[in-house]
Amino acid sequence: MNPEILGRLHNLLGDQGLRTDPLSCQTYGRDWTKTYEPAPSAIALPTSTAQVQAIIQLANQNGFKLVPSGGRTGLSGGAVAAQGELVVSLARMNKILAFHAQDRSLVCEAGVITAQLQQFAETKGLFYPVDFASAGSSQIGGNIATNAGGIKVIRYGLTRQQVLGLEIVTGKGELLKLNHGLVKNATGYDLRHLFIGSEGTLGIITQATLQLLRAPENLTVLVLGVPEFAALMQILQRFQANLDLTAFEFFSDRALHYVVQDKGLAKPFVTPAPYYALLEFENDSAQREQAALQAFQDCIEQGFVLDGVMSQSQTQAKNLWRLREMISETIAVYTPYKNDLSVRVSLVAEFLKAVDQIVTERYAAFEVIWYGHIGDGNLHLNILKPATMDKAEFFEHCAAVNEQVFVLTQSLQGSISAEHGVGLLKRDYLAYSRSAEEIAYMRALKTLFDPHWVLNPNKLLSIDTSSL
Ligand code: MLT
Ligand code: ZN
């Protein structure tokens, strides 16, 4: 970046607010995808919305590009800066600004860590329901920009459901304050929802108003051994007939094997099973517990379940959750090729069967790890790199199977990215889930809010220089 612009950024942000050292560039230039080499020109760490606005205006005037950056726990390269961009990290905008007890809402800056938000809600006797394994480092701005999902979607929905208001600086450098924390607001287009899930391509989120909820009581976890894919959705249906589940996850025995081996955790029970389902419900009355036990009994009798365990304490519940939540971190060292697919819940059984067929044919030489938020129709299919195979060769081989998997997903009107976003990794596959007309509208919206395409260039949509 030219020294004059660096000087202007330095004047704006001060010593603490601008970094160019190699370690910062390495750290802030990548997310958890790790497949792209980071190469940002510098890192800006603003402390106010006014500074964010000034940075975006400077980028527009001088033609440099920006990558908005949260906790960088994404898995699609959405926060990667590999082309000399200026990273704009919201890490120093990390304050909870207000709590409104009657509204059961809070206002916070975008850089607040998800787990801090959850803990704050707890201190108020309330609950922030969006949760996932990376909650300890992901930031709320990133969660909103990617419409983060996680493990409680089946009951509470995605991040979108919790966002009552947003403060945004658009790619043009304009400040927008959207929806003002209102529950009801029927005054036309709800622009708030356009920014949720836009992956930092339309504007930078600087503040959010979030809905908090009643804290659930005595969350109880069941881990069940399942003989085959087809039984999974039968189990879901049987339990949902009696209970509002707060989670319905699944993982394969191989996934469990790695977690048990590498993290030193205990298996849930000794009976072998190829797959496991993890269910969670609010065990707030004797009837509720009875309903869960009855559903379990019915599933055993029908052959949908081989064995199972139900948590008897909060500690045991947490430990059972670790079996599922530690999978991603555990297999990360085996350089997985990650798929994040979804179909309608009613099509999951058919989808799993068809994916299994592709996997058996095309990934015969590789180890395949299955897990996912299957109660939401979301499958995480991870292929592990053989230790002896070169990384580039492995990814090339896996990518060659994409078309078959994505055509299948498309044929069921599913999504090629259920919750990890598009970023760089899925950008060129967008047409498997979005029509040409939709993509054309998306490009038009991008140009409307960010006419010079300064924000997160080439993420989600490729830059079409002829249109700039
Ligand atoms: C998960 O469900 O564990 C996360 O989405 C991360 C992953 O898929 O690896
Ligand atoms: Zn997930």
Identify the residue whose C-alpha is closest to ligand 1 atom 4.
328
How high is the pLDDT of residue 465?
57
| Chain segment 375-433, per-residue pLDDT in tens | 999 999 999 999 999 999 999 999 999 999 999 999 999 999 999 999 999 999 999 99
Nearest CA to ligand 1 atom 2: 372
Same domain? For 197 and 163 the reply is: yes
Q: Whose CA is nearest to atom 1 of ligand 1?
A: 328
Domain count, the chain: 5
Same domain? 76 vs 142: no
Identify whether residues 424 and 457 lie together within a single domain: no
- Axis crossing angle, helix 229-240 with helix 286-301, rounded to the nearest 10: 150
User: With pLDDT > 90 as the criterion, what percentage of the chain qualifies?
Assistant: 98
In angstroms, rounded to a whole number, what is the distance separating the alpha carbons of residues 106 and 232?
Answer: 38
Q: What is the distance between the alpha carbons of residues 95 and 111, in angstroms, rounded to a whole number?
A: 8
Written as six digits, the tokens of 319 are 């430990």
Could you tell me the distance, in angstroms and rounded to a whole number, from the CA of residue 332 to the centre of ligand 2?
14
Distance in Å, CA 379 to ligand 2 centroid? 8
Q: Which of 198, 214, 230 is the last residue of a domain?
A: 214
419 and 447 together in one domain: no
Same domain for 301 and 266? yes
* pLDDT value for 468: 47
- Sole residue written with tokens 């849930």: 268
Rounded Cα gap, residues 433 and 113, in angstroms: 31
Q: Among all chains, which residue has been given the structure tokens 């339990």?
A: 239
Residues 6+ away with beta carbon under 8 Å from 183: 164
Atom of ligand 1 nearest to the CA of 419: 5
Rg (CA), the chain: 23
What's 317's domain CATH number? 3.30.70.2190
Mean pLDDT in the chain?
A: 97
| Nearest Cα residue to 196 out of 138, 143, 154 | 143
Domain that holds residue 241: 219-328
By most ligand atoms within 8 Å of CB, the mutation choice from 259, 420, 425, 426 for ligand 1 is: 420
Burial of 135 (0-12, 13-18, 19+ CB in 10 A): buried
Quickly count: other Cβ atoms within 10 Å of residue 350's Cβ: 15
CATH number at residue 198: 3.30.465.10
Pocket test for ligand 1, best of 73, 75, 143, 373 (most atoms within 8 A of CB): 75
Same-domain check for residues 78 and 100: no
Q: How far apart are CA 139 and CA 232, in angstroms?
A: 33
> Is the domain of 124 the same as that of 204?
yes
Axis-axis angle for helices 253-263, 314-325 (nearest 10): 110
DSSP 3-state percent helix, strand, coil across the chain (nearest 5): 40, 20, 40
Domain of residue 78, CATH code: 3.30.43.10
Give residue 77 CA to ligand 1 midpoint distance, Å.
15
Rounded CA separation 229/238 (Å)? 15
Q: Are residues 165 and 237 in the same domain?
A: no
pLDDT at 467 over 60: no
The model's pLDDT over 37-70, given as tens digits with 9 standing for 90+, comes to 999 999 999 999 999 999 999 999 999 999 999 9
CA angle 413, 414, 419 (to 5 degrees): 150
- Lining residues, ligand 1, CB within 6 Å: 133, 327-328, 380
178: three-class secondary structure by DSSP:
strand
Has this prediction a pTM greater than 0.95? yes
Instruction: Quickly state the pLDDT bin for 1 (edges 50, 70, 90).
Output: confident
Residues 355 and 373 in one domain: yes
Note the pLDDT tens digit of each residue in 76-134.
Answer: 999 999 999 999 999 999 999 999 999 999 999 999 999 999 999 999 999 999 999 99
Domain termination site, one of 299, 328, 357: 328
- Gap from CA of 182 to ligand 1 centroid (Å): 32
Q: What is the pLDDT of residues 343-367, one digit of tens each?
A: 999 999 999 999 999 999 999 999 9
Cα–ligand 1 centroid distance for 127 (angstroms):
22
Amino acid 261: pLDDT: 96
Instruction: Band the pLDDT of 466: cuts 50, 70, 90.
Output: low
Which tokens hold the place of 57?
Answer: 């205006």
| 210 and 224 assigned to the same domain | no
Are both 345 and 401 inside the same structural domain? Answer: yes
Determine the distance separating the centroid of ligand 2 and the alpha carbon of 336, expressed in angstroms.
14
Alpha-carbon distance values, 1 to 4, 20, 266, 316, 379 (Å): 8, 10, 52, 53, 41
DSSP 256-307: HHHHHHHH-PPPS-SS--SEEEEEEEE--SHHHHHHHHHHHHHHHHTTS-SE
**Nearest-CA neighbor of 121 among 38, 50, 210, 35?**
210
What's the gap in Å between 31 CA and the centre of ligand 1? 14
Q: Write the burial class of residue 216 (CB in 10 Å: 0-12 exposed, 13-18 middle, 19+ buried).
A: middle
Query: Three-state SS for 6?
Result: helix
- Residue having the nearest C-alpha atom to atom 7 of ligand 1: 328
Q: How many helices (H) and strands (E) does the chain have?
A: 15, 18
Whole-angstrom distance, CA of residue 190 vs CA of residue 213: 22
CATH at residue 347: 3.30.70.2740
User: Cα 398 from chain centroid?
Assistant: 22
- Taking residues 281-297, what's their average pLDDT? 98
Say if residues 383 and 398 touch (Cβ distance below 8 Å).
yes
Testing ligand 1's pocket by substitution, the residue of 132, 147, 151 carrying the most ligand atoms inside 8 A of its CB is 132
User: Nearest ligand, CA of residue 75?
Assistant: 1
Q: How far is the CA of 323 from the centre of ligand 2 (A)?
A: 14
pLDDT in tens, 156-206: 999 999 999 999 999 999 999 999 999 999 999 999 999 999 999 999 999
Q: Is the pLDDT of residue 232 over 50?
A: yes
- Residue after which a domain boundary falls, among 328, 360, 376: 328
pLDDT(464) > 90: no
Residues 286 and 375 in one domain: no
Of the ligands numbered here, which is closest to the C-alpha atom of 369?
1
